[in-house]
Amino acid sequence: MTTQHEKARLLHQLHRAGTPLVLANVWDAASARLVAEAGAPAIATASASVSWTLGVPDGDRLDRARALAQTALIAGAVDLPVTADLESGFAETAAGVGETVTALLATGAVGINLEDGLRPPAEAAERVAAARAAADAVGLPLFLNARTDLFLRALGDPAGRLDEAVSRARAFIAAGADGIFVPGVEDADTIAALVAAIPAPLNVMAGPGAPTVAELAKLGVARISLGPGLAKVAYAAVERAAQEVYATGTYDALADGLDYGRLNGLFE
């Protein structure tokens, strides 16, 4: 059994520009074990996926207690570093973000995503600093991945979006962030510019139409996330199978399901 400190150090070591950490984000114990068995060196949650499985829409709608309980379930299911998507920290204040991080570390997780949302850069940086202070207070080298949503939400002037993202990233790094997550970017030139300008490991979100892992590695990306991609595929399979049985009375869509013994064996 690897200790929490060892997992935290390993998570830091896995962030290497040009040899990216690939995270197929999960939402429950079964998805975590399947991704681990596929060869993942670390496990990450996706806020959307966790929210949906708990019956809540994504976007700071899930409460802290249930989010952390799900993180504890996932962290307990695998002997790998687990990094949790905390959205904007499940708190109104920076002090509250620190409380969230303190509670998170008790789940066994060793990394977080913390997004800036629509907050001014100084306020978002203050929340990053509070998260870092909370981890430092218990002596755990938490990997703090600060996320800016400028590209994902198409905020501000497109001509100045890159410069603003870099400015925010540098402020977050100064506040204690270990890595920077810029979802919503798929253009190779923009990704290369972000890598060159941000003095920390860069995380991008990938999916259909995005550069491949190998292409992102050549651009210097250090971390690649699939976000809610796996959950969307899983729920699409549920929808197809349900529509088939109610529309035609047939069950062909079930043929592609995992074997009962395979799934049950994940927890033996």
**pLDDT digit string, tens, across residues 238-251:** 999 999 999 999 99
* Predicted confidence (pLDDT) at residue 157 exceeds the cutoff of 90: no
Structure token digits, residue 65: 């207690």
Q: For residue 78, what is the domain's CATH number?
A: 3.20.20.60
Domain-embedded: residue 208 = yes
**Which of 154 and 100 is assigned the larger pLDDT?**
100
State residue 2's pLDDT score: 86
% of the chain exceeding 70 in pLDDT: 100
Confidence of residue 125 (pLDDT cuts 50, 70, 90): very high
Instruction: Say if residues 83 and 55 touch (Cβ distance below 8 Å).
Output: no
Report the length, in residues, of the chain.
268
* Predicted confidence (pLDDT) at residue 147 exceeds the cutoff of 70: yes
Q: In this structure, what DSSP letter does residue 45 have?
A: B
Mean pLDDT confidence for 216-234:
98
State residue 188's pLDDT score: 97
- In 3D space, the residue among 95, 62, 58, 20 whose CA is nearest the CA of residue 227 turns out to be 58
State residue 117's pLDDT score: 87
Domain-embedded: residue 261 = no
Domain-embedded: residue 101 = yes
127 phi and psi angles, rounded to 5 deg: -70, -35
Domain-embedded: residue 79 = yes
Structural domain that includes position 31: 4-228
Q: Which amino acid is at 174?
A: A
Long-range contacts, 164-167 (Cβ 8 Å, 24+): 165/194, 166/194, 166/197, 166/198, 167/121
- Which 3 state secondary structure label does DSSP give 251? coil
State residue 112's pLDDT score: 98
Domain-embedded: residue 190 = yes
Tens-place pLDDT, residues 165-195 = 999 999 999 999 999 999 999 999 999 999 9
Mean pLDDT confidence for 99-127:
97
Instruction: Say if residues 17 and 221 touch (Cβ distance below 8 Å).
Output: yes
Sign of the four-CA dihedral 124, 129, 134, 135: positive
**Sheet strand arrangement including 82-85:** 21-23, 223-225, 202-205, 179-181, 143-147, 111-115, 82-85, 43-44
* Predicted confidence (pLDDT) at residue 163 exceeds the cutoff of 80: yes
Domain-embedded: residue 254 = no
- The total of structural domains in the chain comes to 1
Tens-place pLDDT, residues 40-71 = 999 999 999 999 999 999 999 999 999 999 99
Confidence of residue 155 (pLDDT cuts 50, 70, 90): confident
Instruction: Say if residues 86 and 59 touch (Cβ distance below 8 Å).
Output: no
Q: Which amino acid is at 179?
A: G
Distances (CA, A) of 134 to 25, 82, 140, 181, 220: 25, 18, 9, 21, 30
Domain-embedded: residue 160 = yes
Maximum C-alpha span of the chain: 59
Mean pLDDT confidence for 123-152:
97
Domain-embedded: residue 253 = no
The rounded distance, in Å, linking the Cα atoms of 98 and 248 is 53
Confidence of residue 1 (pLDDT cuts 50, 70, 90): low
3-state SS string over 175-209? HCCCEEECCCCCCHHHHHHHHHHCCCCEEEECCCC
% of the chain exceeding 90 in pLDDT: 96
